[in-house]
Amino acid sequence: MKFRIVEILKGRRAKIHSMIIDDAEKHGLKQFYDEFIETNNKEVNFFMDTLEKIGRIGIKDGFFEDQGGNSIYRLKNIPTNKKDKPQLRLYCIKWGSMCLIIGGGGKKPDDKRAWQEAPELRRINELLSKIDNYLYENNLNIDAACQNNTTFEIED
């Protein structure tokens, strides 16, 4: 598998990146946005507002829920009541205190308790875990990788 990291927002306190996997035409955040903006407009716009806020004020723990390993997190979704639970999940890698890498996301089925039970969400988390391990093991400079448009390769 090949991937590139692209900068999508340079805020005062944090940079937001996303990834292009293999030969995809769009990065993970753009794919997520395009897939869900019409059906889950409120949630998608909440995520976009949250990312802009993270760029302005920094990567604060209150924006995220730990996914149980490495640096993989889920952005918290729009607060709702129990009846109208949010459906979307958006996953990322917190890379240091000023860099966030959005991997992608999807819809959590109502009949599933955890992301591990939903094949698409499990795939995204496993992909992010591989990329996070690669970044860590190779001590990569994300800014340089973006500027040089570097493509990395990981064994599947």
Q: What is the pLDDT of residues 111-128, one digit of tens each?
A: 777 777 778 888 888 899
What pLDDT score was predicted for residue 82? 62
Query: What Å distances lie between residue 112 and 7, 87, 109, 117, 121, CA to CA?
Result: 33, 11, 6, 6, 11
Q: Which of 155, 145, 148 is nearest to 18 (CA)?
A: 145
What is the domain count for the chain? 1
The CB density around residue 148, as the number of other CB atoms within 10 Å, is 10
Q: Decide if pLDDT at 22 tops 70.
A: yes
CA pair distance 87, 155, nearest whole angstrom:
32
Range of the structural domain that residue 146 is part of: 2-153
Q: What is the pLDDT of residues 38-77, one digit of tens each?
A: 999 999 999 999 999 999 999 999 999 888 767 899 999 8
Written as one letter, the residue type at 2 is K
